[in-house]
Structure 1
Amino acid sequence: MKYRNKLTAIMGASVILMTSACDSFLDVNENPNNPEDAPITGLLTNSTYETSLNVYRGGSAISNYVQYLASPNPSSSSDTMDPLNFSSTWFSLYNVMTDLDVIIKKSEEQDASHYKGSAQILMALNLGMTVDFFGDVPFSQSFNFETVTPAYDNDEELYSRILTMLDEGIANLQGSTAISMGADDFIYGGDVDAWIKFGNALKARFLLHTKGSSGYSAAEVLSAVDAGFASNDDDAKVIFFEQRFNPWAQVAINNENLLLGGWISEQFVQALDGTTYPTVDPRLPLMIGTTDDGEFIGTVNGAGRGDAPEQGARSTLIPGQYYTSTLSPLMIATYAELKFIEAEAALDTDKDRAYAAYLAGIEAHMDMLGVSDEDKTAYLTEPSVSVGAGSLTLEEIMKEKWIALFLHPETWNDARRFDYGYKGMDLPANLNPDLNNQFIRRLAYPDSEVSRNGSNVPSVTLLDRIWWDQ
């Protein structure tokens, strides 16, 4: 694509090495690497790059919960849904938001409306991920450095701010600007029209989360869809470069070197190999590897590798595929996701539109992976997939969206909204007994936050639901 090439990425990488992101608001009141002395160009480079890594970090955190991945070790906390310490993910989210807050303020001083708009969209995304993971979180007192114990804001009220930031960001991108973005933007290379579509795609995503609330409007979701991505060419992604591998590629490489990670859940394998559903999905060999015997065999979440102690006896992520090549992009938001959002939002009022969007979402993901036209046609016309507009259900939409959002943190939001209702998705073996035979509903607040800001940290359990998951 015209705004993405390796040279731009390598040039941007040097900026990242020179640009120090601000330490978290929880670390110190006076930061010796104060980003207010950094130009908005360098801060945007770091923010676009690190936002993609925050999507990876979130996907890594929840991939076992939605049974993309499984641990090779029995009773692993990542499988059994024990409370885990996500301090590094928390700090990474807030470090990016701190830089984005500076971009917004400096853009106002410099009349750089396009920088401000892109920063507002990225702020909405990073704040939205934080709220979706943890519920109530600090925000209003987080970036003035007047306190190291900021108050927590209500998660539902923060969602209103997220949607407002998206609207304001889109409006700022549509206006004039004294300074234009360019190669410092790792996502779109300064393409303002693409940023506007991205903002609308995120608006559709976050509005859909509110589906169970009184303020939900399917028409509003569909309006955002209409202004969002028009094809795979519009996908929001960061392409990696030779100095820094795609992190999922690193997981696959590490696994080959016996640092075990990236083992595929049995649930994911069986959903695509003809076991759970009546057709074999041609995407399976393009997404994961086989065993040494050339078979697709998953690992049972919570049970470990069982009677297969040897490396190569279970399917894993392997280097060189779409998600795991060293220069593969990290997908932030995609056209395929947007089509499934459209399908769900239109399902109750316009079955024909919902069905067309459902098929388009499958096709978009297959095109992304490089599925052949013959295999794509065969799958799309298979009776269990080609169900017809009148028979389309939420179950079909959610199943296909789950496949298309492989390794993406948004799937956990879907899983909770869908009450983990995917066919064949059972509770893991050796489940955390505190969950009372229920699936996890939120992440535990990180240990670092409890120790530094404990008086403000809400008292919650892993079963307490955030505001839209009621």
Structure 2
Amino acid sequence: MKKRNILSILSLSAFLLMAGGCKKFLDINKDPNNAVDVPVNVLLPSAQTGLTYAVGNTLTINGGIWAQYWTQDPSSSQYKQLDQYSPAQGDFDNVWLNIEIDALENLQKIVDKGNATKKKEYVAIATILKVYAYQLSTDLWGDVPFSQTLQGDAATPIFNPKYDTQSDIYAGLVKMIDTARNLIDVNDPNTPGADDLIYGGDMSKWLRFANTLKLKIGLRLAKKDANRAAAIVQSLQGAAFIKPGESALQNFNATGGQQNPLFSAIAGPVLNTTQNLVASSTAFNYFNNNNDNRLFAFYGPAVNGGFASIPQGSFGNPPTTIVSPPTPATGANAKDPQSAFAPVKLMTDYETDFLQAEAVLRGWLPGRADTFYVNGITHNYAAYKVDGLADYLAQDQIKYPTAGTQAQQLEAIITQKWAAMCGNQTIEAWTEWRRTGFPSFFVVSQASIIGANRFPEIFLYPNSEMTRNPNAPKQNHFIYDKVWWAQ
């Protein structure tokens, strides 16, 4: 990722277009395009919106299809390449730049300005979100620039940073998150307010977010290096994690330019409310076969008023095929304006429960894995106001497999995490499948052109990086290559 000596016009534009109540943050008597003059209370919502835009648009689409919640509607064609497992390099340019410029560069400016003006809570928040963005980046692309990014100055800028190994990046993330945790002072009066679009400046919540993020970092390494993973997770004993009802998310509204970023794209002038994303039978059948009322929270009625799905990648079916679209709660229903209100979720209370369930299962944190397992399902039902929880939990196939092997218990935890993330944390669900192999019932897309029994496992490096940074890998990945922690 390259160092640029400008405040990203893209990020300010994203904030102007998307963040609610932005007028007061930009009410300054200086050139808003001059990076030196932009205060931290303007940079923070801009950086947060840049990050949520990346997560809520491109990554939600990719994750939604590759985690087999959605597939391409036979009556349209926008995402056929994703179902074919054959995206082009250029398809990853925008999301790379969203993370690099709109998020990371502005987060680093907050760190620099916050340190200079003794606003350490801004520094803490920005550092936490840098960790989130860097982990997201390395989990998607593998080796990426890290140690030399956001470095240098006007005299000696680093335009072509080296690529660091994923192992080294993870070591750096642990140090960075600990730095942020130590900066947090819940009694500091110099905290953000409404300019913090995620937690409104509540530093207790940010501390719990940071602890939960570190827990996720540790568990990501469980397959590759169990001892290293255990040490990271065990360092959190006694720490507080995200509580029920305090998921880290950004809300949106119906005002033009302030809508959910996925809905804004699919309902905008380019796609013109064409419904490309529809129910994949993989997820749809899971909910239906297990008497799970979340089916109706995540999928809406088809044009005939019924509910239906199609197998992954079966867009070759007749255009008249009847299939359910996602509900507005996911932001992915192009024809329902209520999609504009769907929040973009970075980390949720139910994800937190499932993380703790796994940590306890592995013996790295105290507690009861079965309790956290039930809590995760419960909090997901609550988030989407779904009834029938008791009946769902009472089913033998849903009960926590107390008498099962550790592998069976892990499968239950991750499968329920996947179900909970339908349409709302899709890229995380795909990443957890890459890490664990669960759910175990994914099917190869009928449209795949990459060979039998292969799935997408990694993002391609974008054209913008491969052509401009001489330190980028000389050859790109294959889409079915695995990242380091999944090998």
Shorter-chain-normalised TM-score: which range?
A: 0.7 to 0.9
Q: Quick check: 1:173–1:192 contact (8 Å CA) kept in 2? A: yes
Match of 1:376 in 2: 389
TM-score normalised by L of structure 1: 0.86
Alignment of 1:183-194 (within 5 A): 183-194=194-205
* 2:328 is equivalent to residue 319 of structure 1: yes
Give the counterpart of 2:243 among 221, 231, 241.
231
Match of 2:20 in 1: 10
Distance 1:217 1:456, change over 3 A: closer
Structure 2 distance, partners of 1:367, 1:34, is: 45
TM-score normalised by L of structure 2: 0.83
* 2:351 is equivalent to residue 337 of structure 1: yes
SS at match of 1:325: helix
Match of 1:134 in 2: 141
Structure 1 distance, partners of 2:361, 2:413, is: 9
Amino acid at match of 2:442: M
Structure 2 distance, partners of 1:290, 1:252, is: 19
SS at match of 1:140: coil
Give the counterpart of 1:261 among 276, 279, 284.
276
Match of 1:66 in 2: 67
Alignment of 1:143-292 (within 5 A): 143=150, 144=152, 146-174=157-185, 177=188, 179-214=190-225, 215-218=227-230, 220-221=232-233, 224=236, 227-243=239-255, 244-250=258-264, 253=267, 259-274=274-289, 279-292=290-303
SS at match of 1:332: strand
Aligned positions, number: 443
Match of 1:97 in 2: 104
Match of 1:25 in 2: none
Q: Quick check: 1:201–1:229 contact (8 Å CA) kept in 2? A: yes
Structure 2 distance, partners of 1:462, 1:19, is: 48
Q: Quick check: 2:160–2:469 contact (8 Å CA) kept in 1? A: yes
Distance 1:103 1:467, change over 3 A: same
Alignment of 1:30-109 (within 5 A): 33-56=33-56, 57-73=58-74, 76-84=80-88, 85-95=91-101, 96-109=103-116
Q: Quick check: 2:328–2:342 contact (8 Å CA) kept in 1? A: no
Match of 1:415 in 2: 433
SS at match of 1:233: coil
Structure 2 distance, partners of 1:326, 1:19, is: 32
* 2:377 is equivalent to residue 367 of structure 1: no
Match of 2:443 in 1: 426
SS at match of 1:237: strand
Match of 1:3 in 2: none
SS at match of 2:48: helix
Match of 2:11 in 1: none
Amino acid at match of 2:374: L
Q: Quick check: 1:343–1:353 contact (8 Å CA) kept in 2? A: yes
Give the counterpart of 1:121 among 112, 125, 128.
128
Amino acid at match of 1:86: F
- Cα distance, 1:14 vs structure 2: 6.0
Match of 1:4 in 2: none
Q: 399-408 or 128-137: which moved more?
A: 399-408
Amino acid at match of 1:92: N
Structure 1 distance, partners of 2:362, 2:96, is: 37
SS at match of 2:217: helix
Deviations 1:23-57 (A, max 9, x none): xxxxxxxxx93523210110011112222222213
- Cα distance, 1:202 vs structure 2: 0.9
Structure 2 distance, partners of 1:82, 1:115, is: 41
Q: Quick check: 1:43–1:103 contact (8 Å CA) kept in 2? A: yes
Q: Quick check: 1:19–1:46 contact (8 Å CA) kept in 2? A: no
Q: 240-249 or 96-105: which moved more?
A: 240-249
- Cα distance, 1:325 vs structure 2: 3.4
Distance 1:151 1:322, change over 3 A: closer
Give the counterpart of 1:293 among 304, 307, 313.
304
* 2:414 is equivalent to residue 398 of structure 1: yes
Structure 2 distance, partners of 1:430, 1:19, is: 55
Q: Quick check: 2:297–2:327 contact (8 Å CA) kept in 1? A: no
Q: 159-168 or 362-371: which moved more?
A: 159-168
Distance 1:256 1:78, change over 3 A: closer
* 2:460 is equivalent to residue 444 of structure 1: yes
Distance 1:387 1:64, change over 3 A: same
- Say what the alpha-carbon RMSD is for the aligned residues: 3.0
Distance 1:332 1:230, change over 3 A: closer
Amino acid at match of 2:251: I
Deviations 1:314-343 (A, max 9, x none): 111233678863223211101100111111
Structure 2 distance, partners of 1:20, 1:364, is: 45
Give the counterpart of 2:372 among 352, 357, 360.
357
Distance 1:137 1:322, change over 3 A: closer
Amino acid at match of 1:40: V
SS at match of 1:439: coil
- Cα distance, 1:241 vs structure 2: 2.5
Deviations 1:203-225 (A, max 9, x none): 11111101023343447436648
Amino acid at match of 1:51: L
Deviations 1:128-182 (A, max 9, x none): 1111111111233332362432221222111111121111111111377573211
Structure 1 distance, partners of 2:146, 2:325, is: 38
- Cα distance, 1:294 vs structure 2: 3.2
Match of 1:24 in 2: none
Structure 1 distance, partners of 2:330, 2:439, is: 26
Structure 2 distance, partners of 1:223, 1:405, is: 27
Q: Quick check: 2:465–2:472 contact (8 Å CA) kept in 1? A: no
Identity %: 25
Deviations 1:94-146 (A, max 9, x none): 01100111111111111111011001000000111111111111233332362
